[in-house]
Amino acid sequence: MKFEYLLVVFVGGGIGAVFRYLLSFLISSYFGVVFPMGTLSVNTIGSFLIGFFAYLSEISIISPTLRVFIMIGVIGGFTTFSTFSLENVNLIRDGEFLYFSLNVIISLLLGVLSVILGYWVGEILIGRKV
């Protein structure tokens, strides 16, 4: 394991976590907190970005160090499965079974579709297929 990778994960994770906090705060301030729109948005955006950068990594447009910084550090710090899980437990505890069901289904579908879309956008912008 390279020390350089540890350093870029550390820095990238901090950057991603700050972006997550700010975006979640802004979205929750606008939409309210009944439905976890902030976490849904962050995880959907993160899924798109990881698909896009996975494509760039596969065609060697970004260096291994930049890949680790962006995909593991920034995007890893930005997205949050633990918050998603906690919010779902809270929805169940509050008896909000419809919101719980919608959150799980929408999050999974948007996550997978966003990765596919990000990868596809990378192919279109770069013009090469893997």
Tell whether 14 is covered by a domain: yes
14-46 confidence digits (pLDDT tens):
999 999 999 999 999 999 888 999 999 999 999
Count structural domains, the chain.
1
Tell whether 116 is covered by a domain: yes
The pLDDT of residue 5 is above 70: yes
Is the pTM higher than 0.85?
yes
Tell whether 26 is covered by a domain: no
Tell whether 32 is covered by a domain: no
Tell whether 1 is covered by a domain: no
Tell whether 85 is covered by a domain: yes
Tell whether 31 is covered by a domain: no
Residue 72 near residue 9 (C-beta atoms within 8 A): yes
pLDDT at 33: 82
- C-alpha span between 44 and 54 (Å, rounded): 15
Tell whether 75 is covered by a domain: yes
- C-alpha span between 28 and 98 (Å, rounded): 19
Please give the full DSSP string across 22-73, using - where no structure is assigned.
HHHHHHHHHH-SSS-HHHHHHHHHHHHHHHHHHHHHHTT-S-HHHHIIIIII
pLDDT at 130: 62
The pLDDT of residue 79 is above 70: yes
Percentage helix, strand, coil for the chain under 3-state DSSP, each rounded to 5: 85, 0, 15
Q: Whole domain around residue 118: which residue ranges?
A: 7-21+37-126
pLDDT at 76: 94
Which helix (H) or strand (E) segment is 76 a member of? helix 75-78
Half-sphere exposure of 71 (CA within 13 A, CB side): 18
Angle between helices 3-31 and 37-58 (to 10 degrees): 140
80-94 confidence digits (pLDDT tens):
888 899 899 999 999
Structure tokens at 76: 């890893």
39-70 confidence digits (pLDDT tens):
999 999 999 999 999 999 999 999 999 999 99
Percent of the chain scored above 70 by pLDDT? 98
